[in-house]
Amino acid sequence: MIVRWLSASLFFLALLAAWHLAVKAKIWSPLLLPSPLSVFDYLRSAVEDGTLWEAAAVTVRRLLIGYGLGILAGLPLGLLTASSRWSQDTIGVLALGLQTLPSVCWVPLALLWFGQTESAMLFVVVMGTLWSLILATDNGVRTIPPIYTRAARSMGSTGLHTWTHVVLPASLPFLLSGMKQGWAFAWRSLMAAEIFVTILTGFGLGHLLHYGRELNAMDQVVGIMFVIVVIGLAVDKTLFAPIERFLHRRWGTGRP
């Protein structure tokens, strides 16, 4: 365990060192490539004056609400497309098509429909998450060995009970990877929305990134990118990783 930590830390230290050396070598203008130290300085000042916390809180709140709505709608719709031919041909095809649409494409529409409001942000996040969640759920349900449902039916399980006690738990590994993918898509969508749309109800990380670019403050741009990556990692390690470990232990899949 210590060895793992050490070797990983070494890797990231080496990455930082390489970055630092690249700046020292003055290959690129410091306007284009800020030094690690200036990025650190920016982050420290942003933490101290509270802007970073505020922006992160706004962004994470939007993410969680949008992602939650996406799951709430995506799970049942995915179960539906997997269970009826008709909904597969309609909702399934719709999901397949819209999933290929980059979420930034929803931004103009969201602006026209909802104006510069919180709803526009949420709309873009939900549109970015929903379709891939429907597809992942649908795929998960279709991949379950039919023997599970047969065994359950033979024991007297029917209808809703079969869905909640057999189909859903059996497709959990697929649902989880679908939810991870959905989370990544939610991030992408929200950043697109925040970078392109300025709204008065909340100033998110995307806005900080956008204004960093406007002001030519590359330390701010890189600093915010760093924060986004760290939040993404933290969520993965605290939210998804424990569930994943549990599933691997139960199913006996994957490496410990």
Q: Which residue ranges make up the site for another protein (CB under 8 A)?
A: 147-148, 150-157, 161, 165-166, 169-170, 172, 249-252
Measured from the CB atom, the residue of 97 and 169 that comes closer to another protein is: 169
Measured from the CB atom, the residue of 44 and 161 that comes closer to another protein is: 161
Alpha carbon of residue 254 to chain centroid: 22
Rg (CA), the chain: 22
Smallest gap, in angstroms, from Cβ of residue 136 to another protein? 17
Smallest gap, in angstroms, from Cβ of residue 252 to another protein? 3
228 contacts: CB under 8 Å, gap ≥ 6: 187, 191, 205
Alpha-carbon gap, residue 142 to 62, rounded angstroms:
32
Structure tokens at 174: 């697929």
10 Å Cβ neighbour count for 250? 11
Smallest gap, in angstroms, from Cβ of residue 2 to another protein? 29
**Amino acid type, 238:** T
Smallest gap, in angstroms, from Cβ of residue 160 to another protein? 13
218 contacts: CB under 8 Å, gap ≥ 6: 30, 31, 32, 33, 34, 212
Smallest gap, in angstroms, from Cβ of residue 177 to another protein? 15
Alpha-carbon gap, residue 82 to 176, rounded angstroms:
17
Smallest gap, in angstroms, from Cβ of residue 159 to another protein? 12
Alpha-carbon gap, residue 40 to 52, rounded angstroms:
13
Alpha carbon of residue 32 to chain centroid: 28
Measured from the CB atom, the residue of 56 and 167 that comes closer to another protein is: 167
Measured from the CB atom, the residue of 79 and 91 that comes closer to another protein is: 79
Measured from the CB atom, the residue of 76 and 169 that comes closer to another protein is: 169
Measured from the CB atom, the residue of 43 and 144 that comes closer to another protein is: 144
Alpha-carbon gap, residue 194 to 67, rounded angstroms:
16
**For residue 121, which of 79, 182, 65, 180 has the smallest C-alpha distance?**
65
